Chain A
Amino acid sequence: MTTEVVDMITVVVDGFEVSVPKGTLVIRAAEQLGIQIPRFCDHPLLEPVGACRQCLVDIEINGRAFPKPQASCTIPVEPGMIVKTQLTSPVAEKAQRGVMELLLINHPLDCPVCDKGGECPLQNQAMSNGQGETRFEGVKRTFQKPINISSQVLLDRERCVLCARCTRFSEQIASDPFITLNERGALQQVGIYENKPFESYFSGNTVQICPVGALTGAAYRFRARPFDLVSTPSACEHCASGCDMRTDVRRGKTLRRLAGDDSTVNEEWNCDKGRWAFKYVTSVDRLTTPMVRNSAGELVAASWPEALAAAAKGLKAAKAAVLVGGRATYEDAYGYSKFARVALETNDIDFRSRLASNEEREFLAARVVGSTTTYLDIDRADHVLLVGFEPEEESPIVFLRINKQVRKRALKVTAIATKLSIGVEKLKGEFVKVAPGAEAAAIATQSLSAKSVILVGERGAESAGVLSAVAALADSTGAKIAWIPRRAGERGALEAGAIGNLLPGGRPVTDASARVDIAAVWGTDSLPSAEGKSVQEIYAAVYAGEIGALVVGGVDPLDGENSQAALAALEKAFVVSLEIASSAVTQRADVVLPVAAITEKSGSFLNWEGRPRSFDAAVQDSLNRSDLRILSMIAEEMGASINLGTVTAAIKEIASLGKWEGARISMSKVSVPAQPTVAGDRFILTSWRRLLDLGTLQQGEENLAGTARKTVAVISPKRASALGVVDGDKLKISTSFGSVTLNALVEDIHDDALWAPRNSRGSQLLVNLGVAHGAVVSVVKV
């Protein structure tokens, strides 16, 4: 790795010398010395604007003084610079006091009823750098308040100090310039375009960086005072981006979540789903007690000993397998992995409760487990290739990171996709248009270098040959691969061996020395040596009577293909369900064990980079137990202890496993089926999940749901005109399984393809049609 040589410049601030890299702004050089210059418009991640004039300081360079105070947020340091802040310059002090007084003349001073009161930069800096009394005796500017600028963001124009942080964030960071400053003078105000609300996936960041109480979130407005909240550093459970977060709790209830500050991952941002989707934790369907199915076939409340005994008995009575969803923490996934091998003596475990393939399982073992591609590789890439991955919808912080480089240095982005998305358009990406199922061929034609990064999503598993082509392209060009699943727990589950072909740490189950490694740590004589079944194979085996029992945690059977077969398998098997809320699985389970939600337990996720994102319980004294703890109790009951009573125990044990230096699984050759030809009313279906949709973890947050993108069915202009379809026409899309009717949208998409959101209001493809990608559907205008 090369270290960049940075020119350092030494300046004097208030009599103290400080050396900072060339290009550093005066306001930040002062910060290095612990000298805080008051500011509102300044934000380290936004371009300087110099609008609020709160940070005025006196500056001289090599003995030549500026005739008037300068905005320290806009001026980079120079050799020979002497800065006098409010601490040493009476002129700067008066200038700052004057600006503060002016900022407050039109401010309503309604701190006692303002959400920001207690954590407000205006309030704080008015105390530290202002004067106690105003000399303003005139009439304040007034506005109607508050007004909705989206269903989740409210604007109080009276409180606004017009620093333009929100509008600059939307333009410079999110590339969603849906809000802007309107009007002029004291009547200047933040506004939206007519009939175009602030529907950005990143709008919540504007609420967080607003230095006053002008922008508030509907979910938190008037709910609490900051000083009544207990804050806990946490990690986001919604996707694999790995955002650092802060969870604020009052009296055992989460009231809000904020983006944490981690410059290597999410910088200071997060997405609206991470910020606002947390009510599922307190949803009405939350399970509170264990339940056991009685002889009459009804699920009834049971005591823990009773439920654990029933679970152990059922699991010992039949050949059992484990299905664990992608939301499990690293430690919980490790618990499931060990439980399967030690207590159930099987490798039949799979964390991929979604569309998955055996090609993918080999790819994960051969290329992904232990991989070290990071955000920094995106920062340094010469070219980013997106395969089966829509960063804005499926990993929003990855989108922001790519966008940063696109804006900064015109990073080249290429998307191999069936449809041009809003996100790829914002990234100014080259759109390589392919028919659903024909992705693999397009990958092979890409020219990359050793500085390129291939970002492949979990949808890479949905077209045969894609992941093999990605591996081949990486081999031939030296480009790095990053596999970016949607769910927060998948990378951790992979590393924990919650999959049929791997033990923890990427050790192949078929490798005898790998098994010896693990068996030694686990204290068992031997481990099962045959490769386990995949999620689809497990359901099929249950259906065929080969497997009689299932341990299921955090799985939605409707997320996979052939969901009816999955439901039937759950009906048939003896099912032990570990779940936080009532679901399709708990309804069919024989033993239901309530588990702790993310805010009630500690643990960690591994984000797509494999970087640990650990968190503590935000809600203290929860009676709910983690999956890990409960699995331990079942294992104990079964007489096959896994000794993982606590998260700490799991972390220690994982650390003691060490790295696997042995051979990796190699990928077998995949045959790509012939591409179907479609014409007339036949289309090949393609879809992905949108960031805001009907996901289980978004339940109960209507304000957030209000900003979801509209549900549409997209076809190409050529096919639309052949069918006589225009925007807004109703299209009935059918398979032999079922049908769904959606509004048409004519857009840039492959002529063979029809796109619809996979799990949005009115369009749940796996439930409605039984398929989601690559299948032929028929379309009728109705």
Chain B
Amino acid sequence: MTKLTPVLSAHWDEKDSFTIEGYKRHGGYTASAKALAMDPDAIIQLVKDSGLRGRGGAGFPTGMKWGFIPQGDNREHYLVVNADESEPGTCKDTPLLMANPHVLIEGCIIACHAIRAKHAFIYIRGEVTHVVRRVNQAIEDAYKAGLLGNGIDVVLHIGAGAYICGEETALLDSLEGFRGQPRLRPPFPAIAGLYARPTVVNNVESIASVPAIIANGAEWYQSMGTEKSKGATLYSLSGHVNNPGQFEAPLGITLREILELSGGIRTGHTLKFWTPGGSSTPLFTAEHLDVPLDYEGVAAAGSMLGTKALQIFDETTCVVRAVLRWTEFYKHESCGKCTPCREGTWWLVQLLRDLEAGKGTEADLAKLLDLCDNIMGRSFCALGDGATSPITSSIKYFRDEYIAHITHGGCPFDPVASTLFAGAGA
């Protein structure tokens, strides 16, 4: 029996899943109608009871976050949806919004009602033009259908291409028209967020999960998942696998199970390392195949569930090379506000480039680790921490491979072997 539990992705295979008609055919917008008739506090309680936790990476309980918004304060409240999906490997919100943008809009209506907000802002990364168009169309259709505009408005804001704007306070700055850089907390967004008003910032998947919870109840949602990680979620499988894509399953499923369901590692190859939740989460190896992929299970094994972006690398991949590519990304995306991240990523790239080219020494490895120690937990936001994760975890599991680059005087791997076209006569 399959362990997959398609809820969000239940109808993605239908040709018109993204249209308002397609969405309504399966009960779309009945949850929001039900919610609008409910007391807002009851919705917050329901979401709290469901055990839904933030799907953007940190796993903060969604209902609790909504409950932080001060009530009866006679001020504007705002809902902000973080659709600035930019983490290397993370690719769940983009297909979700392509296949079913209306579930997010319905979630926005429910959440706005719950937190007494009149405006929701969807902050979407600027590079995904196709998604922007689709969500725009969906918003337009929702207005035409009278679902929006009756006390709740949704505004789509397109980012300008900065990874840092996925950090919620940088996102708020960017949304206000400033350069996206993280803000000093406190005050937290629940007290002074967008335009200094109480604001909830949620991930796309978190908000999109709400309509089903309203429709089916907290107990139904609780019936899935593990003790502290309730519900189902999208696992994004990519890399050296036969059948990449989105796999919606209860929290706590293992990579072994997902690989079995999806058709396994690239034929003829073996798993070497993988990320449980995007490039900022420490690497796992084959020894972690049976780690339950929920918030607690992954943390206990030394990493983070993150965005459940399962990037799979087989034995043809040079881990030094992979880590260098990620580090170059972090250097490119460091916002520059704080010293450890700004200067540290600049230095890390240079050290890793030398190591990959065989110009490093074993002392450089020690230096690299010490440098990571000076960045991790010393930066202003989590970007700097994330930049060190692939480095420290890869040295932990593949120190010998780093040494091999030094003794070999360069990379011992054939870079072509790891490509998709390897063996295709390319």
Contacts and interface: CB of A to CB of B under 8 A. Distances in A.
Interface stretch (A95-103, A408-416, A419-427): A95-103
Interface in B28-47: none
B334 A53 contact: no
Given A94-B374, A98-B373, A184-B162, A53 B338 contact: yes
Interface in B366-401: 367, 370-371, 373-375, 377-380
Interface in A86-100: 94-95, 98-99
Given A98-B373, A98-B374, A101-B374, A184 B350 contact: no
Interface string A64-97: 0001110000100000000000000000001100
Contact of B333 (A56, A102, A185): A185
Contacts of A103: 339, 343
A68 B378 contact: yes
A53 B343 contact: no
A270 interface: no
B340 A98 contact: yes
Interface stretch (A44-52, A502-510, A561-569): A44-52
Nearest to A99: B339
Contacts of B164: 184
A531 to B, nearest CB: 59
A181 B342 CA distance: 14
A596 B339 CA distance: 50
B334 A51 contact: no
A159 to B, nearest CB: 14
A733 B179 CA distance: 46
Contacts of B340: 53, 98-99, 102
Interface string B347-373: 100110000000000000001001101
A95 B347 contact: no
Nearest to A71: B380
B107 interface: no
A106 B367 contact: no
A51 B381 CA distance: 10
B346 A141 contact: yes
Contacts of B346: 105-106, 141, 185-186
Nearest to A163: B339
Given A53-B338, A105-B347, A183-B336, A98 B378 contact: yes
Contact of B334 (A54, A182, A184): A184
B168 to A, nearest CB: 17
B26 interface: no
Contact of A188 (B162, B342, B374, B380): B342
A317 interface: no
A18 interface: no
Contacts of B331: 185-186
Contacts of A633: none
B184 interface: yes
Contact of B374 (A49, A99, A138): A99
Contacts of A48: 184
A86 to B, nearest CB: 13
Nearest to B379: A53
A435 interface: no
A186 B367 contact: no
B335 A184 contact: yes
A67 B377 contact: yes
A520 interface: no
A135 interface: yes
B345 interface: yes
Kindly name the residue among B179, B343, B345, B373 whose own CB sees the greatest number of chain A CB atoms within 10 A. Answer: B343
Contact of B343 (A68, A95, A105): A105
Contact of A102 (B162, B184, B374): B374
A181 B373 CA distance: 28
A50 B340 CA distance: 12
B297 to A, nearest CB: 21
Contacts of A49: 184
Contact of B336 (A67, A98, A185): A185
A478 B371 CA distance: 64
Contacts of A51: 337-339, 380
A161 interface: yes
A185 B335 contact: yes
B378 A135 contact: no
Contact of B184 (A52, A74, A188): A74
Contact of A185 (B334, B350, B351, B374): B334
Nearest to A91: B377
B225 interface: no
Contacts of B269: none
A139 interface: yes
A102 B336 contact: no
Contacts of B375: 98
Given A51-B337, A52-B339, A68 B350 contact: no
B344 interface: yes
A162 interface: yes
A69 B337 CA distance: 18
A185 B342 CA distance: 5
A48 B332 CA distance: 26
Contacts of B374: 94-95, 98-99, 101-102
A148 to B, nearest CB: 23
A188 B336 contact: yes
A220 interface: no
Contacts of A188: 335-337, 342
Given A53-B380, A67-B377, A102-B344, A181 B350 contact: no
Contact of A187 (B336, B337, B370): B336
Nearest to B341: A185
A139 B179 CA distance: 27
A457 B335 CA distance: 47
A188 B373 CA distance: 24
B334 A99 contact: no
Nearest to A52: B339
Contact of A69 (B332, B333, B378, B380): B378
B126 to A, nearest CB: 15
A183 B343 CA distance: 14
Contacts of A181: 179, 336
A193 interface: no
A102 B350 CA distance: 13
A188 B179 CA distance: 11
Nearest to B180: A184
Contacts of A182: 179
A105 B379 CA distance: 17
Given A68-B377, A69-B378, A102 B339 contact: yes
A56 B384 CA distance: 16
Given A99-B374, A184-B334, 6 more contacts: A56-B378, A102-B343, A139-B350, A184-B335, A185-B346, A186-B336
25 contacts: A49-B184, A50-B184, A50-B380, A51-B380, A68-B378, A69-B377, A95-B374, A98-B370, A98-B371, A98-B374, A102-B339, A102-B374, A106-B343, A135-B367, A139-B350, A161-B339, A162-B337, A162-B339, A181-B179, A181-B336, A184-B333, A185-B331, A185-B342, A185-B345, A186-B336
Interface of B: 162, 164, 179, 184, 331-340, 342-347, 350-351, 367, 370-371, 373-375, 377-380
Interface of A: 48-54, 56, 67-69, 74, 94-95, 98-99, 101-103, 105-106, 135-136, 138-139, 141, 161-162, 180-188
By Cβ-Cβ distance, the 9 closest A-B pairs, closest first, are A98-B374, A188-B336, A68-B377, A138-B350, A102-B343, A185-B334, A186-B346, A184-B336, A185-B336
